[in-house]
Amino acid sequence: MQNTPVASLVGEEYEVEVGPVAHGGHCIARTEEGRVLFVRHALPGERVRARVTEGEETSRFLRADAVEILDPSKDRIEAPCPFAGPGKCGGCDWQHAKPGAQRRLKGEVIAEQLKRLAGLTPEEAGWDGTVVPAEGDKLPAGEVPQWRTRVQYAVDAEGHAGLRKHRSHEVEVIDHCMIAAEGVSELGIEKRTWEGMASIEAIAASGSQDRQVILTPRPGARLPIVELDKPVSVMRVDEKDGGVHRVHGRPFVRERADDRTYRVGSGGFWQVHPKAAQTLMLAVMQGLTPRKGETALDLYCGVGLFAGALADRVGDQGAVLGIESGKRAVEDARHNLADYPRVRIEQGKVESVLPRTGITDVDLIVLDPPRAGAGKQTVRHLSSLGARRIAYVACDPAALARDLAYFREGGYRVRTLRAFDLFPMTHHVECVAILEPADKGR
């Protein structure tokens, strides 16, 4: 018996009323037949002609692009970037929305995720409902903040640098990325050809003049001589072990936050927006109010941003334990915090290392997990340690909401929540939630 092939709906067009924003940089609409569409390049309340980009007759939902705006929203503007729009670069989601509207949309997504996954209203989460722009980012409609200090360029078969199209391996060749920080743009990556390369990551430290490119060659390709418009150190990704190796120059960049310099090596994690590290560090410290002599955990600690801030504030009688899975990040964290004898950094996955430490109580916890969140097992363990306050830094509101529900099961409630627009023009948003034992009064 042969299976009947399922008909693809890619290329089909529907005229639809656009409904609310959804998590992921799109809005929800329904066709007259009741099909659910996830529509990019649209805004709530608009009437658009949507062309299907992914989906079949049997799909639970279809993905689509708004290819014609029949009734525009008052929040719509002409996208400033020539590479933004249906079928083009997938890097930005909201170039077509006024800056204030972008932040409102992000706030609506956070509120929806909190309600759906954690059963919390903004009031119950101690959140005023706003998403705050970073200092200097409040620009008029049509102007774009140059905030991305790390840009991952893809390279096409001819060696031209560009950015990936949405949910695609195809490369949109560009001559300039509008959201790239000045330090990235001035390297001139897009001006030259990169034969034999699969990708180039450009890094422009915001805490120093350090510039770095990390080259990923195609299998068997030789590394080119790198001649850019500004001095730059060069690293390469090894095709055998995936490790990042120095070609020439420093194998790290220097960043600054909380009046300290942090070494970040081999393309290791550091917040991409130049104001993000300082903004989030202050939000965490203001929420935790560390006291001299307290003990603290910094989980998923990266190169030690929060561990350093905690160590400064708990003093010589306090103690801080950081846990991080990345080997190079652990080396950097130990280097960055070498002058704090009461700070210890352990390498490994949080869920494996934390139980082995034997720690049964702690005063403060900071966790900044990857996009998937910390998960039920880890949250359950953290809830058992009796911390008087916990700071949860989240780049994904759905993961945050799921973990907040687990914390509630463990006896913690949200004291305050703050949201920051540290990824303008995209759907991404950063949140800092401060939790405390549920039996403690606000």
Active-site positions?
395
Partner residues linked to 244 by β-bridges = 237
Say how many C-beta atoms besides its own lie within 10 A of residue 7's C-beta: 10
330 near 352, Cβ under 8 Å? no
Identify the CA nearest to 242 among candidates 224, 263, 225, 267: 267
- Cα–Cα distances in Å, from 269 out to 23, 147, 153, 419? 24, 16, 17, 20
- Exposed (0-12), middle (13-18) or buried (19+): which is 362, by Cβ within 10 Å? buried
Beta-strand relationship, 319-324 and 343-347 = parallel
Q: Extract the runs of DSSP E, i.e. beta strands, from 192-291.
A: 197-204, 211-217, 233-237, 244-248, 252-257, 260-265
Q: What is the DSSP letter of 137?
A: -
Identify the CA nearest to 266 among candidates 286, 242, 282, 288: 242
d(CA 208, CA 186): 15
DSSP 71-105: E--TTB---SSTT-STTSBSS-S-TTB-HHHHHHH
Radius of gyration of the chain (CA): 23
- Cα–Cα distances in Å, from 144 out to 76, 137, 190? 15, 8, 19
Q: Token digits for 19?
A: 């409904």
Q: Token digits for 135?
A: 């200092």
d(CA 127, CA 42): 27
Q: What is the DSSP letter of 272?
A: S
- Neighbouring residues of 410: CB distance < 8 A, sequence distance ≥ 6: 379, 380, 382, 383, 384
d(CA 420, CA 147): 14
- Neighbouring residues of 436: CB distance < 8 A, sequence distance ≥ 6: 388, 389, 390, 412, 413, 415
Measured on CA atoms in the order 315, 318, 322, 328, is the torsion positive or negative? positive
